[in-house]
Structure 1
Amino acid sequence: MAGSEPKKAQKLSDFTKEWVNFGHQLYKESPGKLDEAAKSLMTIGSSLLTVYIGAITLFKINEKLDSNVLIFGPIFFWLLCIAVCVFVYFPGVREMDAFNVDQIKNTLNEIIGNKYTKLRIGAGLFVIALCFSTYTIGTSLWQEPSADIIQFVVAKEQISAFENMTIKFENGSQKTIPLVLTGKKDNLYHIKLNDNTSVLVSGEMIEGVIYKNK
């Protein structure tokens, strides 16, 4: 029994030594791990920024929302997130005595601390940008694009055709009452009437268009 004690102590010593070596290796690799995390965050942020800019065009966000803060705010935070992440692995210059163990340890601790702080800031900006982008896109999906209010100037011979489409005219004139223009394509005007009926008016039927809110 007494002879087994040194062997047990030796095994425990070897086990402890492995964990100490592992801890040293983990400590030395910490700056690189933080760099990798920052690069990943920057890559994802750049991709999501591209997606958001594409969504502005796809969902016509700039036409649906009047607030520049809502539209361009997410872009600002995405760019800020990317910039902070760049500074995480941006190299720095420090003077250090290669034979001073304490100075080496303190320098490494300073490097790890600075990188970790910047990474946390970048991660926070990433969350803000993601939430901001989601809110802006979601808000735009619930809003219709702002419509133009127009009046058509119609030739006398075309008035009856407009009246058949239940489009009314101002008294004694060739101008229609104000109408809601929801879209225009290929010389066709998409009009929404008061009863929510949609009609298409060919540009060949009119002599002019008056935009009331421009």
Structure 2
Amino acid sequence: MPPSNPPPAAAIAVLEGAAVEPTVLVLYAHPNPRISRINRRLADAASGIDGVDLDDLYETYPDLDIDVVRERARAARAEVLVLLFPVHWYGAPALLKEWFDAVLYDAWQRERFKPTASGAARRCWLVASCGSAATDFAPGGRHRRPLRDYLAPFEQAAHVCGMRWLEPLLLYAAHDIDNAAVDAHVAQFTAQLRQLAGAAMPTATGAIDGI
């Protein structure tokens, strides 16, 4: 007779060596990745982590016409949503905003985008870089207010969709930092992403540019 409490399908898949559904969806948005110094490396690192589904929006949708059914299916499988992008004019590149507009519009987020397969609240992690120094994002600085103020709409969208907001990973002065700082940032991102995907990796400590 079969056991009265069989293990979940994911556990069976692991035991049998089968592929497990990704638990993290990385929405990577860079309009010109060929010239990317930071984000392309982060995306490449993410693509090599088990349990991570890398969604390269500009590569997948060069015509900017998002396949809503496909994207909702990917989002529904994920327990963590990662927003990976360079800051453009105080916000995200246009295609990431279009993804939010098309995929998470009000009716869907209210009716379907609530519990994950495990029953826990989804989490949302924002990973962004910008060319300006941290001191520019302050009262009296060039940009007058903290970078987090400009990114607040994403935090609010996550809240409305029932997701738990994680501490963002922000990189300043992306055009000016040396290669060692870039390597450290990639390593920190990779370690935290592995942890989110369920790998037995320690949490990265420390910060870059005072973050």
> Common fold, TM-score beyond 0.5?
no
State the TM-score bracket (shorter-chain normalisation): under 0.3
Tell me which protein shows more helix as a share of its residues.
Answer: 1
Structure with higher RCO (Cα < 8 A, 6+ apart): 2
> Rg: which structure is higher?
1
